[in-house]
Amino acid sequence: MEEYLSQLNEAQLAPTIHTEGALMVIAGAGSGKTRVLTYRIAYLMHKGVDPFNILSLTFTNKAAREMKERIAQIVGKSEAKNLWMGTFHSIFAKILRFEADKLGYPSNFTIYDSQDSQRLISSIIKEMSLDKDIYKFKQVHSRISSFKNSLITVKAYFNNPDLMEADAMAKKPRIGEIYQHYVDRCFKAGAMDFDDLLLRTNELLNRFPEVLAKYQNRFKYILVDEYQDTNHSQYLIVKALADRFQNICVVGDDAQSIYAFRGANINNILNFEKDYDNVKTYRLEQNYRSTRNIVEAANSIIDHNKTKLDKIVWTANDDGPKIIVNRLPTDGDEGRYVASSIFENQMTEQRKASDFAILYRTNAQSRAMEDALRKRGIKYRIYGGLSFYQRKEIKDVLAYLRLITNPKDEEALKRVINYPARGIGATTIDKLVLAANHYKCAIFQVMEGIDRIPELKINAGTKTKLQNFVNMIKSFQVTNQTADAFTLAEEVTKKTGLVQEFKKDATPEGIARIENVEELLNGMRDFVEGQKEIDEATGSLAEFLEDVALATDLDKEVDDEDRVALMTIHLAKGLEFPYVYIVGMEEDLFPSGMSMNTRSELEEERRLFYVALTRAEKQAYLTYTLSRYRWGKLIDAEPSRFIEEIDDKYLENLTPIDSYRYKSLINTDIFGAVDKSKLRQTKPVSSTPPPSHKPTDDQLQKLRKLRPISKGSQKVDTETMNKLVPGTRVEHMRFGIGQILNIEGSGQDKKAEIKFTQGGIKKLLLRFAKLKVL
DNA sequence: TCATTGGGCTTTTTT
DNA sequence: AGCCCAATGA
C-alpha cells in the first residue's frame, strides 16, 4: 500500500480506495474531506488511471490549485498538470471555447461578469421604455439568472403559463421580453454570462451526441466537491458526463449548504442515492479541526434545523475554552473590542496575525473592523467586497483589452468609447445602438460601416471621431498578433490616454488608482511568464481575460504578509483559523432581514452560522451590538436568535443578559408586542448530548434514532393567529400592504399566501412574518 | 457635448 | 454615509 494512505483514518481510507462506481461522501466540517479527494486522485493515478481521464470539480480555483499542488507532491509534477481540475465555470469555459463554433459562438467569446449583465439589462429596460422603478435591473437579473440555472430558455419561458402568470402578478409582465432581448444581445456580442457557461454546456451536451460521447469517454472518473452547493444546471452536466462510466464521487455536507440563493439545490445531495445505481455512502464524522466545545456548540445549532441528513460530528480533541460572547454599545465599539482582543491574544498566546479571522454577514460590516484594526496598527486584508478586478480603473483597462479580442463585446465598447472623453456622447451612442439593433449586428460593426448607413444622421465631425476610435482598436489588434498580453496592455494604457486621464487626479484615491493599474500590468507580466511553462497555454490575451473573469478574490496571489483576514462567512467556507470572531450577531443582520420569512431561508442562515463557527480551531468569539450604523443612521439592534440556540454550557457571556433588551422576534407576537412571560422559553431543550469521545457503532445507531427531527418549541398566540383568514388586509414590515389569499398548514407551520400591492404574491411563515392586521 | 450637483438608493450572501 | 445616475447649466 502506498505510503501516503497511512495518513488516513479508517473512515477516510474507505472512500479513498473505493474507485469504481458511484459513491457519496458525507463529510462533516473539519473531517478531512479535501484530504480524501486529494489522495483519492493520487490513488487513481497510482492504479494507472491517466490524469486526462480524471475530472475534478471544485468550488474555488484556489482549492483546485492547492489540491493540484498536493497531488503533484505525491505523483510528480508532470503527471499532475494533466489533471482536469477547477471550478465548474472555468472547466466548462475551456470546453466551450473549444466547441464554440457548434453553438454559433466565436471561440474568443467574452465572459460577462454580473456588472456587465446588469448594465446590459439596464439599457434594455431603458430602450424598452419601461419604468425602472418597477423593473429593477438587479431583480430582473436575478430572475433571469434563476431561469438559466433551471434550464428555462426563453422559449421554455413563453411555453410556461405559470411563470408568465407569476411575473404578471408581480406587475412585471414583460420579463420574458427582457429575457429575450438580453439573450439576443449577449449572443450578438459574442458574450456569455456566468450562467451561460453552465447553460450552454448543457446545450452542447444535449444537442451534439458526438460531443457528449467524446467528453463522457474522456472523463472516466469524476469527482465533485461541495456537491451540496451545485445548482440544477451543474447537476445535469455532471449527470450527463457521468452517465457512461458512472464512476462518480461526490463530496459534500448538507449542513454547509449556503448557496440556495443562487440556485444551489440541496436536493442534489439529498437525492444522490436515487440518481445512480448501487450508490455507496460514506460518512466522515470525526472532526480534526476544532475543540470539543466548538464542535458540540455547532452541533447544537444545526440541531434546530429540520431538513438535514443523518450525521453526527464528534471530535477527540480537547474541550478547549468556551465560546466568548460579548455585547457592545455600537459597531465602533465592536470593532475596538475585536481589535484589542486580537492584540491581546497575539501577545499572550504568541500568535501571528494570520491566525485570526473576522467573519461577518455583509461586506458593509468590514468598515468598522478596518478602522479599529488600523488604529491598533494590526495588519489585515479584506477579501471579497469590491474585488480587485471589479474596480473601475481596472475594468476600464480590461474593457479595452476585451474589445481588442472581441470587438462585438457591447458592454466593453460602451464603457470605453468615450472614456477618456473623445467627444462621442450619449446621443451618438444611442443612435449606434438603435442601428445595431435594427441591423442585428454589433455596435462596432455599425461603426465600421458608418458610411453605408446615411440615415443615421451623424455629422461629419463625430463620424471622424468614431473612425479614429475604430482605427485605434484595429491597430491594437495588429499589435496583439505579435506582442504578448503585457506589452499590448502597456501600449493600450498609453495610447488611449488612460494613463494621462488617471494622472489628472492627484488625490490619494487617484494615486491608488494608478497603483492599481500598475499592479494589473505587473500581474499580466507574471501571467505571460507563467504561461510559458504550461504546454497548451499560449499566454494569449484571451486566456488572461478568461482567468480574470473567473477569478475570485480568494484566488489572487498575495504577498506572504502576515495579516488578519476579514471576509464574509460565505467566502470563509472551506477555510480554517485558530481564532475566529463572528461579529454582528444581531437579528435582522444575522439572520438577515431578507431571509427570515420562510423556514428554508432561515435554515440556510442557520447553516451559515454553522459554517462560521466551524471555521474556528481553538477559540471562537461572538459579538453583537445594541445599536449600529446602517444606511448612515444609528439603529437599535437586538441579539441574534442564534446565540440563544447554543446551549449555555458552551458559552462564556462577558456581558450577562439584560432581560429587557434580550427579546427575540420569536417571542414577539404577530402584532409586535413582547410577551415577557415567554422571554426565556426558547432555550434549547437539551437534546441527546453529543458524544464526547468516539461513539461505538451501536451508540451511533441509537443516537441517529433518538435525534429529534424538529423542535417546534416556539409558541405563538393562537387567538391572534386565528384573526388571519383569507381576505384580511395586513401590513408587512418589508413588503408593505397586502391581502391574505390563502392560509395553509397549521400550528407552527401555518403559512399565509399574501398578495402585496407591490411585490406580488408571497408565501410567509406566520411565526416569522411580522404582520400587522389593518 | 461636458462638468457639476443634488437626489435617491443602498445592504445579503457570489461564480 | 457613500455611490451612481439624472437633470441642469455652460
Distances (CA, A) of A476 to A110, A394, A591: 17, 18, 50
* Dist. CA A251–CA A237, nearest whole Å: 16
With a CB cutoff of 8 Å and minimum separation 6, the contacts of A430 are: none
* Dist. CA A695–CA A705, nearest whole Å: 14
* Dist. CA A153–CA A200, nearest whole Å: 11
Helix or strand holding residue A251 (H, E): strand A248-252
Q: Measured CA to C1', what is the nucleotide nearest A386?
A: B14
Closest protein CA to C1' of nucleotide B10, residue: A631
Q: Is the distance between the Cβ of A660 and the closest atom of strand C smaller than 7 Å? A: no
| Catalytic residue list of A | 33-34, 225-226, 256, 615
Assess contact for A759 and A170: CB atoms under 8 A: yes
Chain C bases near protein CB atoms (7 A cut-off): 1-2, 4-6
Which residues 89 to 128 of A reach strand C, CB within 7 A? 119, 122, 126
Strands (E), A306-451: 314-315, 323-328, 356-360, 380-382
Say what the pLDDT of residue A679 is. Answer: 34
pLDDT along chain A (774 residues), means of 10: 81 94 94 93 94 93 89 89 92 94 93 88 84 83 90 94 88 89 92 94 96 96 94 94 95 91 86 91 94 95 84 92 94 93 94 94 90 90 81 88 92 87 82 87 90 81 88 93 90 87 74 84 86 65 86 68 90 93 94 86 93 96 92 88 93 71 36 34 36 55 39 38 71 66 62 67 60 69
pTM of the complete model: 0.82
Assess contact for A223 and A40: CB atoms under 8 A: yes
Find the largest Cα–Cα distance for chain A: 87
Burial A69-88, CB ≥16 within 10 A → b, else e: ebbbebbeeebbbebbbbbb
Distance A427 CA to C10 C1' (A): 18
Helix/strand/coil for A741:
strand
Distance A421 CA to B4 C1' (A): 16
Distances (CA, A) of A657 to A338, A400, A465, A613, A627: 20, 57, 69, 21, 16
With a CB cutoff of 8 Å and minimum separation 6, the contacts of A526 are: none
Radius of gyration of chain A (CA): 28
Using a 7 A cutoff on CB, list residues near strand B.
A 60, 87-90, 113-114, 133, 136, 138, 142, 194-195, 261-262, 361-364, 384, 418, 421-428, 462, 550, 552-554, 568, 570-571, 592-595, 630-632
Q: Output the CA torsion A515→A516→A518→A521 (10° steps).
A: 170
Distance A382 CA to C1 C1' (A): 20
Q: Measured CA to C1', what is the nucleotide nearest A60?
A: B15
* Dist. CA A271–CA A229, nearest whole Å: 13
Chain B bases near protein CB atoms (7 A cut-off): 1-3, 9-15
Burial A39-48, CB ≥16 within 10 A → b, else e: bbbbbbbeee
- The amino acid at A313: V
Q: Is the distance between the Cβ of A508 and the closest atom of strand C smaller than 7 Å? A: no
Query: Torsions phi, psi of A586, nearest 5?
Result: -130, 150
Distance A678 CA to C7 C1' (A): 54
Say what the pLDDT of residue A580 is. Answer: 97
Distance A199 CA to B15 C1' (A): 13
CA angle, A436 as apex, A435 and A440 as ends, to 5°?
120
| Cell digits of residue A402 | 476585451
Distances (CA, A) of A281 to A27, A248, A274: 11, 12, 12
Tell me the HSE value of A11 on the side-chain side, using a 13 A CA sphere.
Answer: 19
Q: Measured CA to C1', what is the nucleotide nearest A633?
A: C1
